[in-house]
A and B are shown apart, each in its own frame.
Chain A
Amino acid sequence: MIVQALAFYLFAAVTVASAVMVITAKNPVHSVLFLVLAFFNTAGLFVLMGAEFLAMLLVVVYCGAVTVLFLFVVMMLDINFVELRQGFLQYLPLGATIGIILLAELAVVMGGWHFAPEAAKAGAAPIPAIETMTNTHALGAVLYTDYIYLFQAAGLVLLVGMIGAIVLTHRKRTGVRRQVIADQVNIDVKDVAEFKKVESGKGV
């Protein structure tokens, strides 16, 4: 057990530390890289809890796809770092309010567990027991049966978001010469190239 505890504290400490670095790092690219570190260590925490499927999804989706695109954008931004620091006091009240609301919500949840201990157990119990089924089967068994409509709705929301992003950013440009692949594929090879049979080692 002591090894698990040590691993937990290692992952948890690195997660918290890198999360702090995300918001304090001077350079936005460093922030994003610390965000990746935070995600990666969160995946480690998931593995410790026996949720290996979620851990891998976290790495694949957040580290492997979302943050790469994020990094891509941040790297190409032309940012004046001094200017970026200036709005700090102006935005502090708003940020602090959001932080306090989140903290209060956490306190409500924890308080609920304190006053009704059975509620905590109900939330923490895996359905079904972890020994009988792998993570992936267990998730699939509820996701594609009980929650199929919610699942489909989530998919639709994502689809709408994707189409929206394309519509907003797509612009027709005139005077662009486009490659028509079909035309190129339909060219008769004899019109454009001459074939010579060259014996190996002889040259033309």
Chain B
Amino acid sequence: MAEFWDGYLWPTIWTVIKIVAIVLPVMLSVAYLTLAERKVIASMHLRRGPNVVGPWGLLQPMADGLKLFLKEIVIPTGASRGVFIIAPMLTLILALIAWAVIPFSETMVLSNLNVGVLYLFAVSGLGVYGILMAGWASNSKYAFLGSLRSAAQMVSYEVSMGFIIITVLVFTGSLNLVDIVKAQEDVWFMFPLFPFAVMFFISCVAETNRHPFDLPEAEAELVGGYNVEYGGMAFALFFLGEYANMIMMSAFTAVLFMGGWLPPFEFLSFIPGPIWLILKICFLLFVFIWLRAAYPRYRYDQLMRLGWKVFLPLSLAGVIIASGVAVYGGFAPGLQ
């Protein structure tokens, strides 16, 4: 019995506790990210933003959540029921499981995978299924068009994302996220690889279907895109998934290019690592919101052109240049 307790039960309980300790703050951040977005955009538009529910509107996300929770979920008659219901769940689950490999400090990581980067890449690539399934199962032309756009967009930008990740990997020699952060102790990769960091972040924006690449839900032409037939909690799950994905992609960018938990200067190292990571994530999220307020939506052919004719050749060239610099400049680890 003791062996069963020590060998299986206690590790399982301990892992569940750690998962809850990661997921709860993420869900809370998602709720307040929606408020932050509305507040930040409001001040950029010289408006007040939500300020009625609670002090400074701080309870607005709770009110929104409650409203969506109480609404009835309507399933269209022509819908493929199973797929229709699974799609929003899949979106949120995929946005949450990615957090398993994000390192908050050298030891604070739920699962220290040897292939952490690939895991994140795989999970973000699977995100397209939630949208495709939602669009197809709704049996509605607007939803379907939105999901087709989204699929094409995510597949296109994933290619250049993959190449940019390779430029980073050339200098780290490891697919482990903890090792990648440790390789940035001298200099964050953002500085030597600045163009790639920018391209990676833009690809992240396209991958999460955010403005100015939010073609899948272009309200002006597609009513609401892939989630037009969803209401109540099912819609809320898509919403949560989109925002959780934003936070996750910000964390991914912070780990790859901005030194993860590392402080910017040595004398600031008394502040614990997780706080630095959170600050970096907050900065990137602010940029996400800023982009939404500052830029108009891309046209679809321009979006595809940017992905295939600009980012793909540039990132491919980047891989070759970075490998050359790494090999002949002696930066490549594990090379004698």
Measured CB to CB, the residues of A under 8 A from B are 3, 27, 29-30, 33, 36, 52-53, 56-57, 59-60, 63-65, 68-69, 71-72, 75-76, 134-137, 179, 181, 200-201
Contacts and interface: CB of A to CB of B under 8 A. Distances in A.
Contact of A72 (B126, B151, B302): B151
Contact of B122 (A56, A134, A137): A56
A56 B115 contact: yes
B239 interface: no
A33 B301 CA distance: 28
B115 A64 contact: no
Given A63-B126, A65-B158, A179 B301 contact: yes
A133 to B, nearest CB: 10
B155 interface: yes
Q: Is the interface of A mostly helix, strand, loop or mixed?
A: helix
B128 A68 contact: yes
A52 B46 contact: no
B155 A200 contact: no
Interface residues of B, number: 31
Contact of A68 (B132, B144, B174, B302): B132
A91 to B, nearest CB: 27
A30 B301 CA distance: 30
Contact of B175 (A63, A68, A136): A136
Given A60-B121, A68-B155, A72-B151, A33 B133 contact: yes
A200 B46 contact: yes
Contacts of A201: 46
B148 A52 contact: no
B46 A59 contact: no
Contacts of A136: 114-115, 175
Interface of B: 8, 46, 80, 83, 113-115, 118-119, 121-122, 125-126, 128-129, 132-133, 136, 144, 148, 151-152, 154-155, 158, 174-175, 301-302, 305, 334
Contacts of A134: 114, 174-175
B115 A75 contact: no
Contacts of B115: 52-53, 56, 135-136
Contacts of A33: 83, 129, 133
B122 A60 contact: yes
Given A52-B113, A71-B132, A135-B115, A64 B83 contact: no
Contacts of B136: 29, 75
A72 B128 CA distance: 11
Contacts of B132: 68, 71-72, 75
A19 to B, nearest CB: 18
B155 to A, nearest CB: 6
Nearest to B310: A181
Nearest to A40: B126
Nearest to A178: B301
B148 A72 contact: yes
Contacts of A60: 118, 121-122, 125
A181 B174 CA distance: 39
Given A57-B118, A75-B148, 16 more contacts: A3-B8, A53-B118, A59-B126, A63-B122, A64-B122, A64-B126, A64-B128, A64-B158, A65-B125, A68-B128, A68-B154, A75-B132, A134-B175, A136-B175, A179-B302, A200-B46
A179 B298 CA distance: 14
A76 B174 CA distance: 40
Contacts of A63: 122, 125-126, 129
A69 B155 contact: yes
Given A63-B126, A65-B155, A179-B301, A56 B119 contact: yes
A60 B114 CA distance: 16
A53 B174 CA distance: 12
A60 B154 CA distance: 13
